[in-house]
Structure 1
């Protein structure tokens, strides 16, 4: 079962930094991310979603290729490519992978202008190691589907001071 975690950061750059950090942890097999989206709210109140996958562009590209191939059969490759790209783009725009876009936009309406919310759909996690790595990154937990103890551990890790290598070396080992 997947868990949803939404953390608000003061800037989009900070949210992007944490998202990249999570991707690095995924490369180390410490977390499995289903989706990671950054939502920002500008001064006029418009919410923008910075998603990993642009399904409209992917649909247009794949539709164009299929349309070109089918069009070549009927000796009209350019028409086939155009129709395929248009239908693929429409299909891609109607497809929503991961976290529901409408839900993210509604929840992001509560953001202050300039702030950014990092939406992460977590499919699996080694909690202690990931929380240790995220320690002190800041941010405020806005919403989660975690149980109370895991949510509290996340809040504490985000708010804690980061462990420096000097502090870690000075601590006595058990």
Structure 2
């Protein structure tokens, strides 16, 4: 094992850096709340009132002017707001896009399952129709039984007549 400067290369260093970890879901949830608020009429009204008061105080109140006419501080505030609002809105849109993608995939799976179920039911219905087509109906069975009854009646009628004829011949003797 080689050593350089008193440190072994096969042993990880124990130096730790401070890491700042935030749960991305929590950040995303709050960014969506801020993005939703930025898109409301209430926010626009509040911002308009603040800007009007800001400009009025800086134009009229000579003794407390903190941001004279070009309103550089107001422009800086708007720039800072835009610098934070744009990424928050993009983050909210990305999260919405992910939710839409998951919902679309679930809809596709549900649609495929519905289609498979429909095709299965169509095949089962066709099989039932074929099976019903092969079954004997009441009218068909009646017709067959009537034909058998007629045939039996003819046979027994012919036999009875032959036996009556035979009996008549014996009696006549």
* Structure with more helix by fraction: 2
TM-score by length of 1: 0.22
Q: Structure 2-normalised TM-score?
A: 0.22
